[in-house]
Amino acid sequence: MSTLRETILAALYVRLSALPATALRGDVLPERVPAAGLLILRDGEPGEPEVTLSPLRYHYQHRAEIEAVVQGAARDAAFDTLCASIGAALAADRTLGGLCDWVEAEAPRPVDLPVEGAASLKAAVITVVLHYTTTGPLA
């Protein structure tokens, strides 16, 4: 039986997997970046929950991270397209099928990374804030 947290992260991964870019979960950066780009979902940090009593509930603002990476001569346009596709995928269902109260991505802060003997990478970590409520910290 999966926890709500894992179920939500799995649903986010499924949503990212539907995009043209290759999506991975918790993996290391591979040697080659696919032409459509690469997304690596990291579990992130659930943070300290707000707690309400009667009934007891834990309200999280979990900060998952998506590493978005593109490579090639047109990497600026490719990166922009990749970020826009992530935004559209999240906007299509802000609750991930009713699992979350709200899902919101923060703006990326892209960096260009030189690669010896190859085209530079353009990458950013996109934080996705997952608002959800559980009955316990391990639920």
Q: What is the mean pLDDT of each run of 10 residues along the chain (139 residues)?
A: 95 98 95 93 97 96 98 93 97 97 96 86 97 95
Task: Output the six-digit token pair for 12.
Answer: 């986010």
Tell me, what's the pLDDT at 119? 81
Per CATH, domain 4-134 is 3.30.2000.10: yes
Rounded-to-integer distance, Cα 130 and Cα 95, Å: 9
pLDDT score, position 129: 98
pLDDT of 39? 98
pLDDT of residue 1: 81
| H/E segment holding residue 91 | helix 75-91
Tokens of 100: 């979350």
d(CA 76, CA 81): 9
Rounded to the nearest 5 percent, the helix, strand and coil shares of the chain are 20, 40, 35
What is the dihedral angle through the alpha carbons of 82, 87, 92, 96, rounded to the nearest 10 degrees? 100
pLDDT value, residue 7: 97
Nearest Cα residue to 75 out of 9, 3, 123, 28: 123
Q: If residue 15 lies in a helix (H) or strand (E), which one and from where to where?
A: helix 4-17
